Amino acid sequence: MDSKKPSGLQVWTPLLFAFILMFGMTLGFNLRDTLRTKRDLGTVIERNDRLEQIIDLINEKYVDTVNKNNLYSDAITGILSHLDPHTVYIPSDELEEVNEGLEGSFYGIGVEFAIIRDTIQVTSVVKGGPSEHAGVETGDQLIKVGDSVVAGKHITSEHIIRMLKGKEDTKVVVELKQPWNNSKRSVTIKRGVVPVYSIDASIMLDSLTGYIKINRFSANTYNEFVASLKELKTKGMKGLVIDLRDNPGGYLDNAKDIADELLPGNKLIVYTEGRRSPRIEYHTDNKSGFEKGEVAILIDENSASASEILAGAVQDWDRGVIIGRRSFGKGLVQEQYDMADGSALRLTVAKYYTPSGRCIQRSYAKGKDAYAEAFVHRFETGELTGKDTINVGDTTKYYTANKRVVYGGGGIKPDVYVPYDTTKLTPGMMNLMYSDDVRNLIWDYYVRHRSTLMEFHNVREFDRKFKADELVTAFLKMQDPVFRRVVEKVMQHNANYRFFAAQMKAQMARILFYSNGYYSITTEDDDVVQKALHVLHGGAYSAIVGR
């Protein structure tokens, strides 16, 4: 009997099944490891029998009534107290607000306001927002929202925000009053996407130098930066100052993309690595927004995380000069894990490292309280006010591209140190600047002189022609005789008077020309900005970066 030869399919079938089996096992193990690290905190708590038993016993047997949700929240807080300072639990009622600043938008009507003498004053209308389309103007007073009277009711800002925000495309009717002519009108506003801008200012400091102030790294920061860069280049920008002072960080990708606009070629920008997180490297992608011109990055003790990534990359590649004071020192990477009840856990999963290999995370070994008090310690030691003795937590030497020595373990140390100007930032001067009297005076002046102020075509014309002496004089007249003598004594010092007058002028410029107007005035007397201009336009720049 003739035997039949096995077909090709019959020969390969066992091997095919073996391959599928191996692939399935590998995939299963990988999914197991992935899900083990990705499962939400709710699952972890549910599987912790001891915690469940304790909370259930308290809930059933304790002598007084307790809130079970609060017990869980306190338990989570206790667990996290043993971890780093940047691993945090965000309750569900706070998560939306926390995320808004980073997402770059929310749903609302698009106005900024201040409550002055129990009246809600529209101090700014967001460009491109729903209120601008509806005809709302800066200076309008908000009298009613829907059927609710909101003027003269001792209402809080939080309550007004809740009334004005809402779902997309829903409508709200507001009654507005124009104080310059006492006319009233009702306006229907369709709620929509309101952008939350992360770039406060994009201006020319002089004919050659651009200035971009970034307040956070949100989802839209890179796109805003590119647009600002393009506009400044059309105005003749050859050098760029990027202000990251008071910038707490945000999304790493946006900081990486901005660094890509500054760094040429295939350069390492940052890499992250953790116990359960493999090393991930972020390189430039040959973006070429501003690879040739001189760059200065401004930092201070509140520049953290993504700000330090950008500053560290620029410093390690000797692409620009870092100016200001030592940065915050946050070199930890968080991932957000959303839970079923709407809350979230931001868990530290890795550390990030600059191109030279340094981690700039400062120590938290002495606990969270000591970690939080570092600013006070730096002030007491004189580091912030003039003693350029910046101690770093890690004495290991790292080297920039041009072999300059840099250190990690405590923030980015600037190439050019600029201390606090303590003559301007005395408690007395700050109390004056941020007093209700100053805010009310500036707003009243705007309302009374609105038609004249609106004749200024741009901030440069305003800066040249508007004199703030009248505002200072009016402020003094508002005070009772005893306090007036104290203020007059402070104002006898020319530096104090100039600073006070410039700040009032800048606040008026903000009303007229948004944040660009404010920074156009304040940068003229900003020690760190002026030092940056001196470095960029002098021989110091090449000497610092080694070329």
pLDDT of residue 391: 62
Residue-number span of the structural domain to which 167 is assigned: 105-195
Give CA–CA dist 272/414, Å, rounded. Answer: 23
Same domain (yes/no): 412, 478? no
Closest CA to 289 of 243, 258, 253: 258
Same domain (yes/no): 460, 503? yes
Same domain (yes/no): 179, 210? no
Same domain (yes/no): 265, 398? yes
Q: DSSP letter string over 33-45?
A: HHHHHH--HHHHH
Same domain (yes/no): 297, 347? yes
Quickly tell me which residue has 């708590």 as its tokens: 45
Q: What angle do CA 129, 131, 133 make, to 5 degrees?
A: 75
**Core vs surface per residue 36-63: b (16+ CB within 10 A) or e:** eeeebbbeebeeeeebeeebeeeeeeee
pLDDT of residue 190: 95
Q: DSSP letter string over 104-156?
A: TEEEE--EEEEEETTEEEEEEE-TTSHHHHHT--TT-EEEEETTEE-TTS---
Give CA–CA dist 441/411, Å, rounded. Answer: 40
Give CA–CA dist 251/67, Å, rounded. Answer: 35
Same domain (yes/no): 180, 325? no
Q: Rounded to whole angstroms, what are the CA distances from 232 to 192, 203, 288, 329?
A: 30, 7, 15, 31
Q: Are the CB atoms for 312 and 405 separated by under 8 Å?
A: no
Which residue numbers in the chain have pLDDT < 70?
1-49, 387-394, 547
Q: Is residue 354 part of a domain?
A: yes
Q: Is residue 119 part of a domain?
A: yes
Reported as a single tens digit per residue, the pLDDT across 103-157 is 877 889 999 999 988 899 999 998 888 999 999 999 999 999 999 999 877 888 8
> What CATH number did the domain enclosing 248 receive?
3.90.226.10
Closest CA to 179 of 149, 150, 137, 124: 137
Quickly tell me which residue has 């926390």 as its tokens: 98
pTM of the predicted structure, to 2 decimals: 0.86
Give me the number of domains the chain comprises: 3
Reading the block at residue 273, the tokens are 């690595």
Same domain (yes/no): 467, 410? no
pLDDT of residue 379: 81
Same domain (yes/no): 226, 342? yes
pLDDT of residue 547: 63
Same domain (yes/no): 214, 285? yes
Cross-strand pairs, 416: 323
Same domain (yes/no): 183, 313? no
Quickly tell me which residue has 């009702």 as its tokens: 186
